Amino acid sequence: MSTQRSSHDGGRGIEHLGIVHAATPGVLDTSHDVILYLENITVTFDGFRALNRLTLYLGVGELRCVIGPNGAGKTTMMDVITGKTRPDSGTAFFGQTMDLARMSEAEIAQAGIGRKFQKPTVFERHTVFENLELALESDRRVRKSLLASLDGEGSDRIADMLRFVQLADVADRPAGLLSHGQKQWLEIGMLLVQRPKLLLLDEPVAGMSDAETERTAELIASLAGRHSVVVVEHDMDFVGLLGGKVTVLDEGAVLAEGTLEAVQGDPRVIEVYLGR
Amino acid sequence: MGDSEAVATRPFLPRPRPAAPRAGKLALAGLALVVLVLLPALHLYTPAGSRLHVSDYAITLGGKIMCYAIVAVALDLIWGYGGILSLGHGLFFALGGYAFGMYLMRAIGRDGVYQSDLPDFMVFLDWKHLPWYWQWTDHFAWAVLLVVVVPALIALVFGLFAFRSRVGGVYFSIITQALTFAAMLLFFRNETGFGGNNGFTDFKRILGFPITAPATRVVLFMLTAATLAGTLALVRWLVRSKFGRVLTAIRDAEPRVRFLGYDPLPYKLFAWTLSAMIAAIAGALYVPQVGIINPSEMSPASSIELAIWVAVGGRGTMFGAVLGAALVNLAKSWFTMAFPEYWLVFLGLLFVLVTRFLPDGVVGLGRRLVRGRAA
């Protein structure tokens, strides 16, 4: 189908030398350097248009901040990407080949989209270690879970992650006993051990202290390049810390897109969001 | 993620697993010895008048309670660990009982009241042939197969529809109540071919052995004890595996599990179907020991009672399920003799009090006391 691609794919490996650039099911194809395509997405709840012909593209390795007033459709957009909400119209693609509107939440997660909820959601009765173990990239089928045991590589990765999110000392404590900020970090750690290609972070610093916020900003900024990241945020200062392109949503559609300075200077943005 | 370069690596110590206290293990072994050796021996080898003699009644009651304990453990697997409250497990228990009861009915042969090849109730209904689903039920192995397969299939199909439509919580419980109630009405009908409201009774023998003989009773009793032990071992292994951790994660935060890439449906379905199968096996062991199976086992109240046992003992702990089944049923045997009309009132009161004051049941209370003393 896309034979024209073979010309400049030549240097990338034997599989790209073929005439036909075949779609492999379940494998992310980002050959156009775009990881996420949202085109003309509309979602309506009881007559209320949560998303109104939203169009947004995200590049591979890009860090994007999405801001907007309450009800602008930020969380609904996350829901569409993760399969929780189905769009009424429009298309949502992960890479070139994966139609998110046809995949279940679990399939989308397995394909490589990790999501952090606004309210930290960890397994409170499991230990911190077990939380990471459950999240660790693995075969998710029942059959495999019955006889699964953690191999050396897996426990190394969990150990690394425990230190990375500074929870090594509390690894054996039930996650329910962690502080709010620690839960946020644990959830981010859980996302990262899944080895996702695209990370969706819904207000990752809600309820964090200034020091924690700063450290989280550093962490997220360090992820860009290796992961594609979408951060939904209210806190302008935090968006400033992250850098990266900013998309402003309003009434379910993109109002403005660009650097933070550019969107902050945009009169329409000032009117609907910053001016309030 | 590939951050291992960034972080200094040090060998990670495997997390300590809390070992079961040694005293607990010894107590379990002691209990197994009593149930598997001492009680049967005292029943068989002491004269009826002796002070050491264990009576028929005691052996039957013990066997019955162990059957209940098996169902309680099965219910605990899906309720305590999976967060799915079934108020219809009596159905699976009864189906197992009925399936095995078919064999017991056929084993009566021509020794019934009407001295026919057909079970008495069919003669009474003037039926000339066995219905098709009674085929081969004179074979023990076929009946055992039915005991496991029929409830498993029903559970599988029901669970598939319920879990796929994401029916959960109280709605699921109500539907299971409706399911067992519908089955009860069906089994009450004579035309269904399971003896109507009388069900099956007057069994004579099992695999050729007289069913009321002390030795037969003792074998059934020991078999039940072994099944209970096997069920406990299986469920314990299951909940300690990664499967168990996923199952409890689904119980606590199902959306999170989904966004981690697990599909909760097969996990729930597996636990649910397995639980139904275990309940059915318990029912099959119950019927030859008690000597009767009728549709009252499918009544909504019996299934609720089952949930009460687990709640009283402490859900999410296997020992609690066994303890709850034993305590409530011992209380029931005494109560129904002393104040028969107040049993249901007492049961309801017990449920309210336990839910209000002992959310983790007797086992939770015990733990709190131990912790209180340690602190």
Chain B residues with CB under 8 Å of A200 CB are none
Asked if residue B146 has pLDDT above 90, the reply is: yes
Name the strands in the sheet holding A98-99, side by side, starting at the edge strand that comes first in the sequence: A48-59, A34-45, A89-94, A98-99
The predicted pLDDT at position A201 comes to: 92
pLDDT of residue B6: 37
**CA–CA distances in Å: residue B241 to residues A56, A130, A142, A147:** 42, 11, 11, 7
Report which residue type is found at B288. Answer: P
Query: Contacts of residue A115 in chain B, CB cutoff 8 Å?
Result: 259
- At residue A6, the pLDDT reads 41
Taking one residue from A and the other from B, the number of pairs with CB-CB distance under 8 angstroms is: 112
Sequence-ordered list of residues with C-beta below 8 angstroms from that of B148, at least 6 positions apart, any chain: B96, B277, B280, B281
Cα separation, B106 vs A136, whole angstroms? 54
Q: Do B256 and A122 touch (CB under 8 A)?
A: yes
The answer to whether B60 and B290 are in contact (CB under 8 A) is yes
The shortest CB-CB distance from B262 to any of A140, A163, A193 is to A140
Contacts of A105 in chain B (CB under 8 A): 255, 258-259
Q: Is the pLDDT of residue A7 over 70?
A: no
Q: pLDDT category, B17, cuts 50, 70, 90?
A: very low
CB–CB contact A125 B245 (8 Å): no
Cα–chain center distance at A229: 5
pLDDT reported for residue B54: 85
User: Distance between CA atoms of B218 and B221, rounded to whole angstroms?
Assistant: 5
Q: Once rounded to an integer, what is the mean pLDDT over residues A218-247?
A: 86
State the Cα–Cα distance between residues A80 and B182, nearest whole angstrom.
Answer: 40
Most A CBs within 10 A among B251, B256, B259, B273, hence the mutation to make, goes to: B259
> Does the beta carbon of A215 lie under 8 angstroms from any beta carbon of chain B?
no
pLDDT at residue B214 is higher than 80: yes
CA distance B177 to A214: 53
Ramachandran area for residue B226 (φ above 0: left; ψ -120 to 50: alpha; else beta): alpha
In this complex, which of B16, B260, B270 lies closest to A109 when CB atoms are compared? B260
C-beta separation of B306 from B89 below 8 A: yes
pLDDT for position B20: 52
Residues of A in contact with B253 (CB under 8 A): 121-124
Closest CA of chain B from A276, distance in Å:
34
Alpha-carbon span B327 to B316, nearest angstrom = 17
From A124's Cα to the closest Cα of chain B, the distance in A is 8
Q: Which of residues 62-101 of A touch B (CB under 8 A)?
A: 82, 84
* C-alpha span between B148 and B277 (Å, rounded): 6
- DSSP string of chain A? --GGGHHHHGGG-GGGSSSS-PPPTTS---TTSEEEEEEEEEEEETTEEEEEEEEEEEETT-EEEEE--TTSSHHHHHHHHHTSS--SEEEEEETTTEEGGGS-HHHHHHHTEEEE-SS----TTSBHHHHHHHHSS----HHHHHH----HHHHHHHHHHHHHTT-GGGTTSBGGGS-HHHHHHHHHHHHHHT--SEEEEESTTTT--HHHHHHHHHHHHHHBTTBEEEEE-S-HHHHHHH-SEEEEEETTEEEEEE-HHHHHH-HHHIIIIIT-
The DSSP letter of residue B210 is E
pLDDT of residue B160: 97
Burial of residue A54 (CB within 10 Å: 0-12, 13-18, 19+) is buried
- Mean pLDDT (chain B, rounded): 89
Radius of gyration of chain B (CA): 23
Are the beta carbons of A188 and A204 closer than 8 angstroms?
yes
- A127 at the B interface (CB within 8 A)? yes
Residue A162: list chain B partners with CB under 8 A: 12
- Report the interhelical angle of A180-193 vs A210-223 (nearest 10°): 10
Nearest of B309, B350, B359 to residue B329 by alpha carbon: B309
**Interfacial A residues in 15-54 facing B (CB < 8 Å):** none
| B248 closest CB neighbour out of A115, A125, A227 | A125
In A, which residues are within 8 Å of B12 by CB distance? Answer: 155-156, 158-159, 162
- A172–B262: do the CB atoms touch at under 8 Å? no
CA distance linking residue B21 with residue A25, whole number of Å: 50
Query: Any bridge partners for residue B107, and if so which?
Result: none
Average pLDDT over residues A149-167: 91
Q: In this predicted model, what pLDDT tens digit does every residue of A124-152 receive, in sequence order?
A: 999 999 999 999 988 899 998 998 888 88
pLDDT, tens only, B149-205: 999 999 999 999 999 999 988 999 999 999 999 999 999 999 999 999 999 999 999
Min CA distance, B370 vs chain A (Å)?
20
Residues of chain A found within 8 Å of residue B364, distances taken between Cβ atoms: none
Sequence-distant (≥ 6) Cβ neighbours of residue B100 within 8 angstroms: B143, B144, B146, B147, B283, B284, B287, B288
Partners of residue B8 in chain A, C-beta under 8 Å: 163
**Residue type (1 letter), B338:** A
Sketch the domain layout of chain A as residue ranges. Answer: 64-82+106-274
Contact A106 B262 (CB under 8 A): yes
Render pLDDT for B109-132 as a digit per residue (tens, 0 to 9). Answer: 898 888 888 999 999 999 999 999
Pull the structure tokens for residue B58: 């005691």
For the purposes of burial, counting CB atoms within 10 Å of the CB of A234, is it exposed (0-12), middle (13-18) or buried (19 or more)? middle
Chain A residue numbers touching B165 (CB-CB < 8 A): none
The tokens describing B271, both together, are 């636990």
Q: Is A14 on the interface with B (CB under 8 A)?
A: no
Give the HSE-up count for residue A261: Cα atoms under 13 Å, Cβ half-sphere: 0
SS3 B223: helix
Q: What amino acid occupies position B333?
A: S
* Distance in angstroms (rounded) separating the CA atoms of residues B46 and B141: 34
Q: Do B242 and A145 touch (CB under 8 A)?
A: yes
Q: Which of B4, B10, B12, B234 to mutate to test the interface with A (most CBs of A within 10 A)?
A: B12
**Per-residue pLDDT, B8:** 36
C-alpha distance from residue A249 to each of A82, A260, A267, B102, B266 (Å): 18, 14, 14, 67, 38
Best CA proximity match to B70, nearest among B365, B309, B293 = B309
Sequence ranges of the domains in chain B: 56-297
B327-357: burial string, b at 16+ Cβ within 10 Å, e else:
bbbeebeebeeeeeeebeeebeebbeebeee
In the predicted model, is pLDDT for residue B268 greater than 80?
yes
Residues in B closer than 8 angstroms to A129, CB to CB, are 15
**Beta bridge partners of residue A49, listed in sequence order:** A44
Q: CA A69, CA A161: separation in Å to the nearest integer?
A: 34
Distances (CA, A) of B66 to A168, B226, B322: 44, 10, 8
Contact B114, B120 (CB under 8 A): yes
Q: How close does chain A come to B239, measured CA to CA in Å?
A: 9
Measure Cα distances from B214 to B36, B58, B112, B204 in Å.
Answer: 15, 12, 22, 14
Residue A201: strand pairing partners: A116, A231
What count of residues does chain A have?
A: 276
Query: Which of B260, B263, B267, B315 best tests the A interface by mutation, with the highest count of A CBs <10 A?
Result: B260
Q: How far is B74 from chain A (nearest CA, A)?
A: 18
User: For residue B185, with 0-12 CB atoms within 10 Å meaning exposed, 13-18 middle and 19 or more buried, which class applies?
Assistant: exposed
% of chain B at pLDDT higher than 70: 93
pLDDT at A8: 44
Task: With beta carbons less than 8 A apart as the criterion, state whether A175 and A183 touch.
Answer: yes
For B284-308, the three-class secondary structure string (H helix, E strand, C coil) is HHHHHHHCEECHHHHCHHHHHHHHH
Chain Cα centroid distance, residue B302: 12
Taking the C-alpha atoms of residue B114 and residue A84, their distance in angstroms, rounded to an integer, is 63
The pLDDT value given to residue A22: 52
pLDDT bracket for residue B375 (50, 70, 90): low
- Torsion, Cα B251 B252 B253 B258, to 10 degrees, reads -30
* CATH fold label, A64-82+106-274: Rossmann fold (3.40.50)
